[in-house]
Amino acid sequence: MICPFCGANEDKVIDSREAAEGAAVRRRRECVKCQRRYTTYERLEESPLLVVKKDGRREPFDRKKILNGILKACEKRPIPAEKIEAAVDEIERQISKQFEREVSSVEIGQKVMEHLARLDDVAYVRFASVYRSFKDLNQFMKELRELLNKKQP
């Protein structure tokens, strides 16, 4: 490592610890030349997951987009932030396990809807109405009927 203070390229590792729940290694280093200490992180280099949009475009996977979509659907609903964050974490985990290089936006939308259906009916219907681009009231009512049928024992 090159020292960020003096530019020397000799250092010694003083301490190593697991960081980011095992996804990184945190190392405390000391420069041999100037004796100043600094911290570095080592992470596994991953190839970025690409999202294939409905029009064929590809863009890097962005966890924030899932979070924003769920937050909008859950707006003014009694859903704790921890549950929303947990749902986003689980969706991201499922996607990274199931897909190696590319995932369709349709697949992501389905996973979001599955989680919202378990979290809150209103949030689910809000998301579904935008995601499925309901054209009229009949499509909306059909979705509501299906939801109600699933909820009845």
d(CA 46, CA 87): 23
pLDDT of residue 105: 95
Confidence of residue 145 (pLDDT cuts 50, 70, 90): confident
Q: How many CB atoms lie within 10 A of CB 114?
A: 15
Q: pLDDT confidence of 150, banded at 50, 70, 90?
A: confident
Could you give the strand order of the β-sheet that contains 102-104, starting from the edge strand earlier in sequence? 58-60, 50-52, 102-104
- 77-124 pLDDT, tens digit per residue, is 999 999 999 999 999 999 989 998 999 999 999 999 999 999 998 998
User: What is the mean pLDDT of the segment spanning 48-69?
Assistant: 94
- Would you say residue 141 lies in a domain? yes
Q: Residue 15's pLDDT band (boundaries 50, 70, 90)?
A: very high
| Residue 153 pLDDT class (50, 70, 90 cuts) | low
| Percentage of residues in the chain having pLDDT higher than 70 | 97
Residue 20 falls inside a structural domain:
yes
In the predicted model, is pLDDT for residue 57 greater than 80?
yes
Pairing of β 102-104 and β 50-52 = parallel
Q: Assess if residue 5 is contained within a domain.
A: no
Q: At what angle do helices 121-131 and 105-119 cross, to 10 degrees?
A: 160
Helix (H) or strand (E) holding 66: helix 63-73
pLDDT value of position 96? 87
Q: What is the pTM of this model?
A: 0.64
Q: Are 99 and 108 in contact (CB under 8 A)?
A: no
Q: Are residues 34 and 102 in the same domain?
A: no
pLDDT at 26 over 90: yes
**Is 112 inside a domain boundary?**
yes
Tell whether the model's pLDDT for residue 45 goes beyond 80: no
Provide the phi-psi class of 32: left if phi over 0, else alpha when psi is between -120 and 50, else beta: alpha
Domain for residue 3, yes or no? no
> Looking at the 3D structure of the chain, how many domains does it have?
2
